[in-house]
Amino acid sequence: MLMSTTTVEIEFRTAIRDALAEELERDSRVIFFGEDVAKAGGVFAVTKGLYERFPDRVFDTPISELAITGAAFGAAVCGKRPVIEIMFGDFLGLSLDSLVNQAAKYWYFTQGQTSAPLVVRSAVGAGGRFGAIHSQMPISWFFGVPGLKIVCPATPADAKGLLKAAIRDDNPVLFFEHKKLYSLKGPVHDEVIPLGQAAIVRPGRDLTMVTAMKGVHDCLAAAERLAERGIEAEIVDLRTLKPLDRVTILASLRKTNRLMVVEEGPRTGGWAGEVMAIFVEEGLDDLDDAWRLCTPDHPIPYSPALEDAFLPGADAIVRSVLDRPSFAHTA
């Protein structure tokens, strides 16, 4: 099918829907299922209209995350390319066995003879007043599991391009969508974005900010305010957390010589610590400064005021930078 090269502005949720529709049309092996994703169109209205277009390959399931993931694994090793939706990332704990002990290891178990090409879409993140068990960022639960890829888009263009790449990938992929980004509008094209490539979304000379998902927009807002004080921050949008683009991070660090990692997720065991370890392993011990800004190690508050204070938003990012000794003269 010929694809248009016209760039248009659409919502993040629409970009996800378009990617699914195009891959369902392109490859008859692609199937999509989950709780309320077909006739209802998804709890966040992401998948409206897909059932009507592909009634044989888009369908609803019972309320069982383990059954959904197990069915996806079985379909994947039998030649399909399933995409499933786990409504909230918090519920992925119920899918752990199928993902961690089966899908992630199947390529290894079969000595490279059979892959498990499945994609798990899931809404994650806080800020929407969903409470402690509907707002988590479960990346750290899976970050150390060999065989899994983790994708975290921040823009509609990346949402579409990365999802298309994830569906075509022969590995199990966790595709996380931040709830606060669903209504974000931006230009979208037909590019398939390779997994494992970060993007410099703002050039700078004084500080490298490494982040992902909503953190990209928080860092961009903070960077504009810091620029008024003469601090030019370079922002690295990781886009994919596994595999991690070490090359882009290191190139930026060698230019700015300062590192700040912004992660919406617990400080203990988070991916920010892995990024921090890169400069140590690469022998960049002469960095002027390096630190991380994460969420506290406690459940996410429901109170709007407490939830806002809990998150590493733009205000917290600005304060964190200005509190560092290397930028004390600008405070």
Enumerate the active-site residues: 134
H-helix segments, 210-270:
214-227, 246-256
Report how far residue 309's alpha carbon sits from residue 301's, in angstroms, rounded to the nearest whole number: 9
> Which residues are within 8 A (CB) of 219 and not within 5 positions of it... i.e. 6 or more apart?
202, 209, 211, 233, 235, 262, 314, 317
φ, ψ dihedrals at 112, nearest 5°: 75, 10
Beta bridge partners of 188: 8
Contact 22/168 with Cβ under 8 angstroms?
no
Nearest to 170 by CA among 126, 128, 111, 117: 117
Question: Which DSSP category does 95 fall into?
Answer: G
Task: Report residue 44: phi and psi, to 5°.
Answer: -105, 20
Residue owning tokens 């508050």: 301
The whole-angstrom separation of Cα 324 and Cα 329 is 10
The contacts of residue 15 (CB under 8 Å, 6+ apart) are 156, 157, 159, 160, 163, 188
For residues 114 and 136, give the distance between their C-alpha atoms in angstroms, rounded to a whole number.
Answer: 33
Integer-rounded Cα radius of gyration of the chain: 20
Determine the Cα–Cα distance for residues 252 and 216; give it in Å rounded to an integer.
16
Instruction: Give the chain's count of helices (H) and strands (E).
Output: 12, 14
Give the number of residues written for the chain: 331
